Amino acid sequence: MALRRSISRLAMVYLVTLCLKTAFVSAFSSTNTPTTPTSSVQQRSANQQALEDAPPFPRTWVPLASVYELHPDRPTPLRFLGQSYVTYQSNDGQWAVFDDACPHRLAPLSEGRVDRQKNRLECSYHGWEFDADGRCQEIPQADFSTMQKAMQNERCHVKSYPVHVEKNILFVWPWADEDPLITVSQPHCAPEHFMEGVSENCTTYTRDLPYGWDTLLENIVDPSHVPFAHHGLQGKREDAIPINMTSPSDLSPEGFVFQFEDRTMSMRRQGGAVFRAPFVIHYKADFETPSKEKQKKRANSPKVFNLTAIMLPTKPGWSRIILMGAPRTKQIEKKEKERLVAKIFRKLPSWLVHTFSNRFLDSDLAFLHFQEQERERRGVDARAYFMPAQSDRCVSALRKWILQYAHIPGPLPAPLTDRGVLFNRWTQHGEHCRHCTSARKRVAKWRTNTLRLLAISLVLAKFTAARVVAALSLLLLNRLSAVDKAFSDGGFSHYDNH
Ligand code: FES
Ligand SMILES: [Fe+2]
């Protein structure tokens, strides 16, 4: 009996020791026992695994950002379906995209810096360094042999994704276990398909919007809101007429097409659009010119409406829009005459165009943010809508398409009741746009110099000329403050927009 008790006690001690040892080894395996992943599941990054576990979303190349706006010398955070990525440009001009978490202790790499001398991305928490393939090349805290041993472990490196730049748009293949070359057999998943009809070297405007991808898509397939929501910016309220719109019936994984006839800027417009699911809507329409005289004038420069918008689900309640604009330099056919307005617009600095675009998107931002909150509160999705007119046909089609082929990331975060946050143009656009960032820096420099000039002119105020300079400096300071404010403070009051 005593012998049996001792044996069972010994067995118990052995089991406890074994458990403790296993726990200890697994807790410190990252530093003490480099391991090679044994299954494909282990080889997936946390982001890939999260996308695998999420409800299905079309597996295509994903347009994450515009290289026309990205800062080449600093890492930029990117989001897709709630996952975080970081991009930076390596010395050979190629863009790299990684998971935005340092393998050491998960600090965001987008808070780090690009070391141009070493051509590496540095995590600025403890200084680990990664090359353009995401391979760790430096652990400052480890001696040579520890570092060599650690580097044999895949956990030492950061996941890097296949990247393709097409017409200034940075496409990424974020999915696990699939070859991006699959797009050869499925051309509707390829970057070239999404960017068809867009000029080479086009300019862009990107904004992260406080409403979801589905709400943004819904807004873009709906031309009927333009006369009201964008009154005074594109057309006016008087443009509103009953809109003829075809009902897209041929819904497929590739998307759908529709035709429409409406009026904007006092001119009738007729055309069509294609939804290249799940990210792009491309419009092309012709304007009917109002008088014969004007028709003559415009014979060589027909007015057409061309719009390509990219829409990305970034995280619940947020989406990214990338609007494609005209290239800075344009090859004009000999007999084609470019319209003067288009010519002037093309010559404007990008930061100024972005300021107009910010204002344009401000004008329906609150509608969309609170509309989707109310839709979610009612819990019946788009069935909560009442849409008797033809102009909403595409909204219905889009909702059907989403139900069939995608899912909406959710649940929504709490509504943004602070309008300063809701309309924050700087966090939504400016801080990640190299054109707006450098323009704002120039404005700050001008302000400093003008303040200096003001101080000097006040010291010399007994001279009339100095007093004039002081007055002009004050005026200039006032204007510079207004420009600076335009980079950050958005908002729109329809009750004041007559
Ligand atoms: S968390 Fe990146 S180096 Fe420590
Ligand atoms: Fe900008």
Q: Where are the domains of the chain?
A: 2-33, 46-180, 202-432, 438-496
Q: What is the pLDDT of residue 33?
A: 32
At the top level of CATH, the class of 46-180 is mainly beta
Ligand 1 atom nearest 112 alpha carbon: 2
Of the candidate ranges 108-122, 150-164, 263-277, 354-368, the one whose mean pLDDT is the lowest: 263-277
Collapsing DSSP states into helix, strand and coil, what is residue 281? strand
ipTM for the predicted complex: 0.97
Mean pLDDT, range 328-347, rounded to an integer: 66
User: Quick one: pLDDT band at residue 264, thresholds 50, 70, 90?
Assistant: confident
Beta strands in 289-338 (DSSP E): 304-315, 318-327
Q: Is 102 in the pocket of ligand 1 (CB under 6 A)?
A: yes
Enter the tokens of residue 151.
Answer: 């580097």
Q: What is the pLDDT of residue 31?
A: 33
Distance 316 CA to ligand 1 centre (A): 28
Q: Which residue has the tokens 């060589």?
A: 300
Q: Is 237 in the pocket of ligand 1 (CB under 6 A)?
A: no
Q: Is 128 in the pocket of ligand 1 (CB under 6 A)?
A: yes
Enter the tokens of residue 7.
Answer: 């044996």
Of residues 235 and 321, more confidently modeled? 321
Mean pLDDT, range 290-308, rounded to an integer: 67
User: Quick one: pLDDT band at residue 343, thresholds 50, 70, 90?
Assistant: confident
User: Quick one: pLDDT band at residue 23, thresholds 50, 70, 90?
Assistant: very low
pLDDT in tens, 433-477: 999 999 999 999 999 999 999 999 999 999 999 999 999 999 999
Q: Which ligand is nearest to the CA of 349?
A: 2
Q: Is the peptide bond before 278 cis (omega within 30 degrees of 0)?
A: yes
Q: Which residue type occupies 321?
A: I
Q: Which residue type occupies 135?
A: R
Of residues 30 and 352, more confidently modeled? 352
To the nearest whole number, what is the mean pLDDT of the chain?
A: 87
Q: What is the pLDDT of residue 410?
A: 84
Q: Which mutation among 31, 100, 128, 129 tests ligand 1's pocket best, with the greatest number of atoms within 8 A of CB?
A: 128
Q: What is the pLDDT of residue 304?
A: 83
Strand order in the sheet with 62-66: 62-66, 169-172, 163-166
- How far apart, in Å, are the Cα atoms of 220 and each of 168, 224, 260? 22, 10, 13
Q: Which of 32-36, 46-50, 230-234, 351-355 has the highest mean pLDDT?
A: 351-355
Mean pLDDT, range 27-46, rounded to an integer: 45
- The answer to whether 476 and 450 have CB atoms below 8 angstroms apart is yes
Q: Is 104 in the pocket of ligand 1 (CB under 6 A)?
A: yes
Mean pLDDT, range 48-52, rounded to an integer: 88
Nearest residue (CA) to ligand 1, atom 4: 126
- The fold of 202-432 is Alpha-D-Glucose-1,6-Bisphosphate; Chain A, domain 4 (3.30.530)
Q: Is 125 in the pocket of ligand 1 (CB under 6 A)?
A: yes
Q: What is the pLDDT of residue 288?
A: 81
Q: What is the pLDDT of residue 131?
A: 97
Distance 126 CA to ligand 1 centre (A): 5
Distance 433 CA to ligand 2 centre (A): 5
Nearest residue (CA) to ligand 1, atom 1: 105
Q: Is 123 in the pocket of ligand 1 (CB under 6 A)?
A: yes
User: Quick one: pLDDT band at residue 393, thresholds 50, 70, 90?
Assistant: very high
Q: Residue 145: is its pLDDT beyond 80? A: yes
